[in-house]
Amino acid sequence: MIQPIVEALKHFARPTSIVFLIAALAIGVIVAFRKRTQPLARWYFAALLAFYWIASAPAFVEPILRWEQNRYPVLTTAADARNARIIVVLGAGNATIKAAGQSLNLVTMTAAFRLLEATRVYQMLDRPTVIVSGGITARNVGARSEADAMRRAILELGVPADQIMVEEESKTTRDEAIVVARMLSDRQRQPIVLITSATHMPRALAVFRAAGLDPVPCAAPYKSDHSFERGRWLPSDLALMMFDTLLYDTAASWYYRLRGWTTS
């Protein structure tokens, strides 16, 4: 019973969701048209405007993300990675676009940052195995897996096909840990480099350790070079998306703790 509710919240109870925004506006309209609550309406709409402005301002969002990023030192040598021979890149969504009997499977911006970091670490570690992880999470007919999109993208970045393994069973971070642990059942005591976003990393580390793996954290960049250098207090789509992800990962971490999924 709880899982359908969780799935609905994952998709709709987020600042970037149009359903969330329309619901917030609808509440304001109801408040404005009821005589008893009319005096509160202007304060409600002012608070809603302030929330979205602050949540989409790079000057507010970026310091939080930078703090999260700094929790995980950049891996610059093989010794930093504990000489790991396996890199695991966690999925971050994809888009399967279909038309005229053809389809493209594209990674999201967040997944792209993870793949760019994976390629950098791959080159540093001298041809380790790269596992790209993520099943079919979209609900549209004919959707393809996150891992398929990631494999295509990382091939373009120069990682050879014979060094890539694909995990496309999982639908959640916990699934990824369980399936990857099964794939590496004969190498579980070996360190692996775990690549994901900094805000996602605490939850990912916890479930991978609970699955019996030995992950070395490697946080992917959260923005492109030179982003957010101008208009830092002006609303930004990208900053709002990052704020949305921050809220989501924080809530998901607490949910995983409550379910007991982050302890071995």
List, for residues 25-80, the tens digit of each pLDDT value: 999 999 999 999 999 999 999 999 999 999 999 999 999 999 999 999 999 999 99
Nearest to 21 by CA among 45, 57, 54: 45
Q: What is the model's pLDDT at position 229?
A: 79
Region 75-102 average pLDDT: 94
Question: What dihedral angle (degrees, nearest 10) is formed by the CA atoms of 182, 76, 149, 249?
Answer: 70
Q: What is the model's pLDDT at position 142?
A: 82
Whether 1 has a pLDDT exceeding 70, the answer reads: no
Region 130-158 average pLDDT: 93
In this prediction, what percent of the chain has a pLDDT beyond 90? 83
Whether 12 has a pLDDT exceeding 90, the answer reads: no
146 within 8 A of 134, measured Cβ to Cβ: yes
Region 198-219 average pLDDT: 96
User: Alpha-carbon distance 204 to 172, whole Å?
Assistant: 10
Question: Helix (H, G, I), strand (E, B), or coil: what is residue 143?
Answer: coil
181 within 8 A of 194, measured Cβ to Cβ: no
Q: What is the model's pLDDT at position 230?
A: 84
Q: What is the model's pLDDT at position 2?
A: 66
User: Alpha-carbon distance 264 to 262, whole Å?
Assistant: 7
Mean pLDDT taken over the chain: 93
Whether 188 has a pLDDT exceeding 70, the answer reads: no
Residues in a beta bridge with 194: 88, 217
Q: What is the model's pLDDT at position 141?
A: 80
Whether 109 has a pLDDT exceeding 90, the answer reads: yes
The pTM of this model reads 0.92
User: Alpha-carbon distance 128 to 105, whole Å?
Assistant: 25
Nearest to 204 by CA among 185, 225, 237, 181: 181
In this prediction, what percent of the chain has a pLDDT beyond 70? 97
Whether 3 has a pLDDT exceeding 90, the answer reads: no
User: 7: pLDDT confidence band, cut at 50, 70 and 90?
Assistant: confident
Q: What is the model's pLDDT at position 11?
A: 74
Q: What is the model's pLDDT at position 27?
A: 97
Of residues 179 and 8, more confidently modeled: 179
